[in-house]
A and B are shown apart, each in its own frame.
Chain A
């Protein structure tokens, strides 16, 4: 269910690498945990973030959650459609519900992120501890 070609974080973001650009969003598990998403706050194009830094917030009816970038880089595009219609993050978290695109500062960080399999294992642990 978590696409094999993506890499994941323990804070439930994913990144898809395409050349030197990383597309970032939140996982299906995260959108389910949040419930109906009603606001999405994203940075402007041109901002530079280090891996692990907060790049925005996502707000559902019941909760607010910070968004952390899995990799370092400069914002080259944000998903304006998702800002206008945040419900698409619920509907299609790995597709049309993507959030930002970054021009990667380095290609070394990606290897340290979780694979789909590792992420699933992590989620299972987290569920157990609830």
Chain B
């Protein structure tokens, strides 16, 4: 067990490689209750969220979620997050564990008008059911059957007779769901999923596999790939920024950066030489210096992969970089991302 933002979390239950494979080929369970949940309710929820986040919340229908962020005035990340729209004046934000208190304060100090923001993290637990067999497994204990939920859709369900919010979301690059239940019900639901999924080859998975899975899918991790020095343009997450929607925190800075040119970009690389290039290692290119933001051994590809912030001129696919792996210059190459993409897309 390790301490993760005040939560005791297992890095692995069995082994990272075997847990990773379970999610890619079958189904895995993650206790992600550490993820922060903020509830935003009241008539001024929408205008406040429009101001707080760069994506366009007005495009969100009831029962849908959206990947977005909180940005500073400099256009850099306070956090990345999901916005769930329950109804016109009822939203839930799912944020990173270690940022929850900061995000809560940030939202409260920047929201305007008639609304209420509440930190609901400790009232509920969050269980991620991920993998090609996730829908089959979850549907056996959930009413109504969640299999027809669209990607990034959610609804109120009953799981083992208990009220739950089930969304078709995840952080693995695989089909899957996240199930939000009252904290007291979490253990019962988790155990039942393990039991019920035995025939499916289900495994409980820890933070280690969560990291290798998300990295193969090129999903950014706050604190590694993005933080308050990185903008969405730099993080290759420009699609979450809707400049035309109107004013929001960080907009001026983002417009300015776009006009001036984005100096660096987050790209995927694979190692040509041996060894894993890890977070914080220096990366040298012909166009200047960069830094590795994430690195691991890709269980699916069987080789070391990573993400790096590199000078924009050195981010073309095929560009070579040299990573300083504990004093040894090791060659890597910029590649297409995501490193892994599942074959069958959910609607």
Contact = CB atoms under 8 A, between A and B. Distances in A.
A61 B297 contact: yes
Contacts, number: 40
Contacts of B41: none
A81 interface: no
Interface string A13-49: 0000000000000000000000110110100000000
B274 A62 contact: no
Given A36-B15, A61-B16, A62-B12, 4 more contacts: A38-B297, A61-B296, A61-B299, A62-B211
B270 to A, nearest CB: 14
A77 interface: no
Task: Classify the interface of chain A: helix, strand, loop or mixed.
Answer: strand
Interface of A: 35-36, 38-39, 41, 57, 59-62, 64, 90
B17 A61 contact: yes
A90 B274 CA distance: 19
A114 to B, nearest CB: 27
A42 to B, nearest CB: 11
Given A35-B15, A38-B297, A39-B297, A62 B275 contact: no
Quick one: which of B17, B299, B304 has the most chain A CB within 10 A?
Answer: B17
Interface residues of B, number: 18
Interface in B1-42: 11-12, 15-18
A38 B12 contact: no
B212 A61 contact: yes
Nearest to A36: B17
A5 B208 CA distance: 35
B276 interface: yes
Contact of A62 (B16, B299, B326): B16
Contacts of A38: 276, 297, 304
B11 A39 contact: no
Contacts of A62: 11-12, 16, 208, 211
B265 interface: no
A53 B304 CA distance: 27
